[in-house]
């Protein structure tokens, strides 16, 4: 089982050197490559786990829902998937005379919670692709990951962070819902743009002509984001905020599902405290390239090379309010420690991504994603322990 | 969404447009279903054989590194449509056009902005047509057209419940298949409710609704649908429970391979393997 980067170096190398010891084994073993971006395998004997990214979320979502709703889940999920499907057809008038479609992922996450929303929206996307030809069958995995998984999580985090402990009928919840809708669809679009943008770097024919999506990150990101910041984001914002406002007037019980869960976990003190943090991280993640535009150096983040370079020393002096670093002396600890630790993504520049800004964003997203995954895993395990304890008591 | 292109003549207000989109979805799936009863080649085959073959051909088209292989798969799809007695232009024309416009919008700029050897220059504008750009645009369009044609071929020649059941061949859990099947039914129910709500409003309305009001109306409709979904989900659960549902799902499995399938399996396998062989060279 290989990651995409390893596979890119590994498989061609051994295929090209069949005489070396071990080559026989490597070349003839079945290999699984985990990648969201690859849609096909350029290597013989290799299967692409295209759905690998969405699969663990579907799995956890299935388990959670099973626990939460037990037998009720089958009809309820079906009905909600149908609901999500219908929402995607609504033609919403936007300020300025255009119209837009919403995905409904944010409102589904607010009412059902993220796990229920992941399943319902994924099913709606699958039916769209299979029966109505919208979206492509091989893209169901990627679509579900972007819209259902990323969209639902961002929506519920933003909504809970902004809404806080406010009353179910508070207008703060309407604002929270609007923000959740707007940010969730934009996060989904951004992740999608990344997936499009890396394709021409990875998939070209012998001449270097792109085989799949032809646009690099420099085109894909602005092209996706302009449409979503301007149109799709607004559609999602109006629908999410509007529905929450409507439910406040007519069916407040529907809003209590996720709010109650929030209140419960507040007693345990595991999730509530971190929710705000999530949102801050997400915001910092999006804003991280601003760091490159800011003048000067990141204070305290100097490497050994920067102490050796005169221009960099000047920058350090300025950043340290005139305190010049000792002449000719890279701090010794930095020299020794610096050589010990090789970061997997040195200097935040992902090796296969040439553009610095984009690499920065990509690294931030990856890093944050890793942290979030760790926390989610922790949360899932902690929940299980709690439930077990509850069962034995 | 995807199929709005050929419905553009009624540029009415948002209510009318949403009703149109909803009705069109209904129409499209009813139209697709009528062909599954006809006597044609694909209709004779076992749904599982069809499902795996179509998926194999879609993967072949997606994997191919040469345009001609994708084009060959496209010809194959047309051939299957022809011998399954599906009117090609009438059935696929609107779908192809919609896909062409949608993917074309994405693919078109690539012709000019992808780096590569210059093939020609557009007079007056002085835009250079890049060979690689043209190639990747053709790839993108052709692949999406082939994929959508093949999936519609499957849908048009197979009752949808059979399509769902055949998904279990590739390891999709029964529970997921059941949820997909129920969802498909509820979609029609909710299309009807949404359409009724909009029509009721439309029939009581004179003049144009201000945008702000229209957004309120849309949100309120979604809210009503949401409440209805909850109600419906609970009702259906109770109905299922009273009929003995205890959380396990069983489906009838009456599929059996026939002689035509035993002919079709090696044939399809040959096409897919040949396609993959040439496509990956």
Domains and CATH numbers, chain A: 2-51 (no CATH), 55-287 (1.10.1760.20), 292-341 (no CATH)
Is residue A172 within a helix (H) or strand (E), and if so which, with residue range?
A: helix A171-202
Strand ranges inside A10-165, DSSP E: 31-34, 46-49, 92-93, 99-100
CB-CB under 8 Å, A87 with B249: no
List, for residues A335-377, the tens digit of each pLDDT value: 555 444 444 444 444 444 445 555 555 555 555 555 555 555 6
**What is chain A's mean pLDDT, rounded?**
65
Q: What is the pLDDT of residue A361?
A: 56
For residue A44, what pLDDT band results from cuts at 50, 70 and 90?
Answer: very low
Residue with tokens 């663990």: A56
For residue B35, what pLDDT band results from cuts at 50, 70 and 90?
Answer: confident
Q: Residue A95 pLDDT > 80, yes or no?
A: no
d(CA B181, CA B252): 13
3-class DSSP assignment, residue A63: helix
In sequence order, what are the beta bridge partners of A99? A93
Please answer whether residues A233 and A190 qualify as being in contact, where contact means their C-beta atoms are separated by less than 8 angstroms: no
Q: Could you tell me which chain B residue has the CA closest to the CA of A125?
A: B180
Q: Residue B81 pLDDT > 80, yes or no?
A: yes
For residue A97, what pLDDT band results from cuts at 50, 70 and 90?
Answer: low
Q: What is the pLDDT of residue A365?
A: 59
- The residue that leads in pLDDT, A230 or B203, is B203
Distance of CA B14 to the CA centre of its chain: 24
Residue with tokens 């819209």: A147
Alpha helices, DSSP H, located in B64-116: 67-83, 88-113
Q: Residue A290 pLDDT > 80, yes or no?
A: no
d(CA B2, CA A299): 51
Q: Residue B221 pLDDT > 50, yes or no?
A: yes
Q: What is the pLDDT of residue A15?
A: 57
d(CA A258, CA B148): 38
| Vertex B231 angle, CA B227 and B237, to 5° | 145
Q: Using CB atoms within 10 Å of the CB of residue A68, give its burial: 0 to 12 exposed, 13 to 18 middle, 19+ buried.
A: middle
Q: What is the pLDDT of residue A227?
A: 74
Q: What is the pLDDT of residue B160?
A: 79
CB-CB under 8 Å, A74 with B29: no
How many angstroms separate the CA of residue B105 from the nearest CA in chain A?
Answer: 12
Q: Residue A109 pLDDT > 70, yes or no?
A: yes
Among A338, A337, A341, A359, residue whose Cα is nearest residue A350: A359
Residues 46-65, chain B: which have Cβ within 8 Å of A?
55, 58-59, 62-63, 65
Is residue A160 within a helix (H) or strand (E), and if so which, with residue range?
A: helix A151-163
CB-CB under 8 Å, A214 with B234: no
Which of A313-317, B94-98, B127-131 is predicted with the least confidence, judged by mean pLDDT? A313-317
CB-CB under 8 Å, B219 with A215: no
Close Cβ partners of A202 (under 8 Å, ≥ 6 residues apart): A4, A8, A37, A38, A352
Tell whether A241 lies on the interface with B, counting CB pairs under 8 A.
Answer: yes
Alpha helices, DSSP H, located in chain B: 14-34, 41-44, 47-63, 67-83, 88-113, 131-157, 160-166, 174-203, 211-242, 259-279
3-class DSSP assignment, residue B87: coil
Residues 93-132, chain A: which have Cβ within 8 Å of B?
93-95, 99, 101, 104, 107, 111, 123-124, 126-132
d(CA A158, CA A177): 8
> Distances in Å between the alpha carbon of B43 and those of A220, B90, B155, B261?
42, 19, 10, 11
CB-CB under 8 Å, A254 with B110: no
Please answer whether residues A49 and A141 qualify as being in contact, where contact means their C-beta atoms are separated by less than 8 angstroms: no
Q: Residue A100 pLDDT > 80, yes or no?
A: no
How many angstroms separate the CA of residue A117 from the nearest CA in chain B?
Answer: 13
> Distances in Å between the alpha carbon of A59 and those of A119, A139, A337?
10, 19, 41
d(CA B228, CA A33): 44
Domain extent listing, chain B: 11-37+173-250
Per CB-CB distance under 8 Å, the chain B contacts of A132 are 2-3, 25, 28-29
Which of A126-130, A321-325, B192-196 is predicted with the least confidence, judged by mean pLDDT? A321-325
Nearest to B187 among A82, A137, A250 (CB): A82
Tell whether B26 lies on the interface with A, counting CB pairs under 8 A.
Answer: no
Q: What value of ipTM does the predicted structure carry?
A: 0.77
| Vertex A331 angle, CA A329 and A336, to 5° | 120
For residue A54, what pLDDT band results from cuts at 50, 70 and 90?
Answer: low
Tell whether B88 lies on the interface with A, counting CB pairs under 8 A.
Answer: no
> Distances in Å between the alpha carbon of B217 and those of A33, A151, A236, A349, B224?
48, 24, 15, 48, 10
Tell whether B97 lies on the interface with A, counting CB pairs under 8 A.
Answer: no
Mutate to test the interface with A, among B69, B158, B187, B244 (most CBs of A within 10 A): B187
For residue A38, what pLDDT band results from cuts at 50, 70 and 90?
Answer: very low
For residue B116, what pLDDT band results from cuts at 50, 70 and 90?
Answer: confident
For residue A224, what pLDDT band results from cuts at 50, 70 and 90?
Answer: confident
Nearest to A93 among B211, B229, B245 (CB): B211
- The residue that leads in pLDDT, A38 or B219, is B219
**What tokens appear for B109 in the block?**
């700029």
| Vertex A285 angle, CA A282 and A287, to 5° | 115
Q: What is the dihedral of CA B34, B36, B42, B45, to 10 degrees?
A: 180
State the count of interchain CB pairs (< 8 A) between A and B: 229
CB-CB under 8 Å, B216 with A136: no
Per CB-CB distance under 8 Å, the chain B contacts of A247 are 223, 226-227
CB-CB under 8 Å, A42 with B65: yes
Among A158, A247, A125, residue whose Cα is nearest residue B219: A247
- The residue that leads in pLDDT, B68 or A59, is B68
Q: What secondary structure letter does DSSP report for B169? A: G
d(CA B178, CA A71): 13
Mutate to test the interface with B, among A90, A111, A247 (most CBs of B within 10 A): A90
Average pLDDT estimate for B228-240: 85
Per CB-CB distance under 8 Å, the chain B contacts of A74 are 175, 178-179, 182, 237, 240, 249
Residue B118 phi, psi dihedral angles, 5° rounding:
-80, 130
Give me the percent of chain B exceeding a pLDDT of 90.
1
Tell whether B271 lies on the interface with A, counting CB pairs under 8 A.
Answer: no
Q: Could you tell me which chain A residue has the CA closest to the CA of B240?
A: A75
Mutate to test the interface with A, among B216, B218, B232 (most CBs of A within 10 A): B218
CB-CB under 8 Å, A93 with B214: yes
Mutate to test the interface with A, among B117, B183, B272 (most CBs of A within 10 A): B183
Residue A16 phi, psi dihedral angles, 5° rounding:
-80, -20
Please answer whether residues B147 and A136 qualify as being in contact, where contact means their C-beta atoms are separated by less than 8 angstroms: yes
> Distances in Å between the alpha carbon of A383 and those of A158, A279, A303, B111?
22, 22, 41, 52
Per CB-CB distance under 8 Å, the chain A contacts of B144 are 136
Among B170, B176, B186, residue whose Cα is nearest residue A59: B176
Among A63, A23, A35, residue whose Cα is nearest residue A203: A35
CB-CB under 8 Å, A88 with B226: no
3-class DSSP assignment, residue B117: coil
In sequence order, what are the beta bridge partners of A34? A3, A49
Please answer whether residues A170 and A183 qualify as being in contact, where contact means their C-beta atoms are separated by less than 8 angstroms: no
Q: What secondary structure letter does DSSP report for B126? A: -
For residue A12, what pLDDT band results from cuts at 50, 70 and 90?
Answer: low
Among B269, B260, B57, residue whose Cα is nearest residue B154: B57
Which of A172-186, A217-231, A334-348, B234-248 is predicted with the least confidence, judged by mean pLDDT? A334-348
Which of A233-247, A363-377, B125-139 is predicted with the least confidence, judged by mean pLDDT? A363-377
Please answer whether residues B209 and B217 qualify as being in contact, where contact means their C-beta atoms are separated by less than 8 angstroms: yes
Q: Could you tell me which chain A residue has the CA closest to the CA of B221?
A: A243
Percent helix, percent strand, percent coil in chain A, to nearest 5: 70, 5, 25
Average pLDDT estimate for B7-16: 56
Q: What is the pLDDT of residue A166?
A: 80
For residue B61, what pLDDT band results from cuts at 50, 70 and 90?
Answer: confident
Close Cβ partners of B145 (under 8 Å, ≥ 6 residues apart): B74, B96, B99, B100, B103
How many angstroms separate the CA of residue B242 from the nearest CA in chain A?
Answer: 13
Q: Residue A157 pLDDT > 50, yes or no?
A: yes
Strand order in the sheet with A2-3: A2-3, A31-34, A46-49
d(CA B136, CA B106): 11
d(CA B255, CA B251): 12
């Amino acid at each position: 089982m290989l990651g995409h980067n390893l596979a890119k170096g590994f498989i061609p190398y051994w295929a090209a050197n069949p005489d070396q010891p071990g080559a026989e084994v490597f070349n003839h073993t079945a290999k699984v490559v985990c990648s969201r971006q690859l849609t096909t395998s350029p290597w013989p004997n290799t299967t692409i786990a295209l759905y690998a990214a969405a699969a663990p979320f579907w799995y956890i979502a299935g388990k959670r829902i099973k626990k939460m709703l037990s037998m009720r889940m089958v009809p309820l999920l079906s009905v909600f998937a149908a609901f999500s499907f219908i929402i995607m057809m609504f033609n919403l008038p936007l300020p300025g005379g255009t119209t837009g479609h919403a995905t409904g992922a944010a409102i589904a996450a607010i009412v059902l919670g993220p796990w229920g929303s992941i399943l319902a929206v994924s099913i709606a996307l699958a039916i769209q692709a299979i029966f109505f030809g919208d979206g492509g069958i091989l893209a169901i995995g990627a679509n579900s990951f972007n819209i259902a998984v990323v969209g639902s999580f961002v929506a519920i985090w933003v909504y809970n962070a902004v809404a806080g402990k406010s009353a179910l009928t508070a207008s703060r919840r309407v604002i929270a819902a609007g923000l959740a809708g707007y940010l969730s669809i934009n996060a989904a679009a951004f992740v999608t743009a990344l997936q499009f943008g890396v394709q021409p770097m990875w998939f070209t024919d012998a001449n270097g002509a792109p085989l799949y999506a032809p646009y690099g990150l420099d085109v894909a990101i602005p092209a996706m984001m302009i449409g979503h910041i301007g149109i799709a984001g607004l559609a999602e914002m109006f629908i999410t905020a509007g529905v929450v406002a409507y439910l406040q007037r007519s069916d407040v019980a529907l809003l209590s599902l996720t709010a109650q869960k929030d209140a419960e976990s507040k007693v345990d003190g595991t999730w509530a405290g971190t929710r705000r943090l999530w949102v801050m991280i997400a915001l910092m993640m999006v804003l991280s390239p601003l760091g490159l535009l800011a003048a000067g150096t990141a204070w305290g983040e100097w490497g050994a090379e920067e102490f050796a370079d005169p221009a960099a020393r000047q920058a350090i002096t300025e950043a340290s309010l005139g305190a010049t670093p000792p002449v000719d002396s890279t701090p010794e600890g930095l020299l020794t420690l610096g050589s010990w630790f090789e970061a997997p993504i040195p200097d935040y520049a992902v090796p296969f991504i040439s553009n610095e800004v984009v690499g920065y964003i990509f690294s931030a997203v990856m890093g944050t994603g890793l942290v979030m995954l760790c926390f989610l895993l922790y949360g899932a395990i902690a929940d299980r322990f709690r439930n077990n304890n509850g069962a034995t008591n | 969404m995807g199929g709005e292109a050929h419905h553009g003549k009624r540029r009415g207000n948002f209510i009318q447009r949403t009703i149109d989109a909803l009705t069109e979805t209904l129409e499209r799936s009813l139209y697709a279903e009528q062909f599954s009863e006809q006597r044609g080649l694909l209709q004779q085959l076992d749904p599982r054989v069809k499902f795996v073959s179509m998926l194999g051909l879609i993967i072949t088209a997606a994997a191919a590194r040469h345009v001609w292989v994708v084009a060959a798969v496209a010809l194959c799809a047309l051939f299957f449509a022809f011998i399954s007695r599906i009117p090609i232009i009438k059935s696929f024309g609107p779908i192809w056009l919609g896909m062409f416009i949608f993917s074309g919008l994405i693919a078109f700029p690539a012709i000019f902005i992808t780096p590569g050897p210059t093939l020609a220059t557009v007079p007056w504008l002085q835009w250079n047509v890049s060979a690689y750009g043209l190639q990747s645009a053709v790839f993108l369009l052709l692949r999406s057209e082939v994929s959508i044609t093949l999936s519609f071929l499957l849908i048009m020649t197979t009752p949808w419940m059979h399509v769902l059941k055949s998904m279990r061949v590739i390891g999709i859990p029964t529970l997921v298949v059941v949820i997909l099947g129920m969802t498909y039914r509820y979609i029609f129910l909710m299309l009807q409710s949404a359409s009724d709500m909009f029509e009721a409003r439309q029939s009581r309305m004179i003049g144009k609704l201000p945008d702000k009001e229209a957004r309120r109306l849309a949100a309120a409709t979604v809210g009503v649908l949401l409440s209805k979904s909850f109600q419906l989900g609970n009702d259906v659960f109770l109905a299922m429970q009273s009929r003995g549902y205890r959380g396990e799902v069983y489906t009838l499995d009456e599929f059996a391979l026939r002689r035509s399938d035993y002919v079709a399996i090696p044939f399809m396998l040959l096409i897919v393997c040949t396609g993959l062989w040439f496509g990956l060279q």
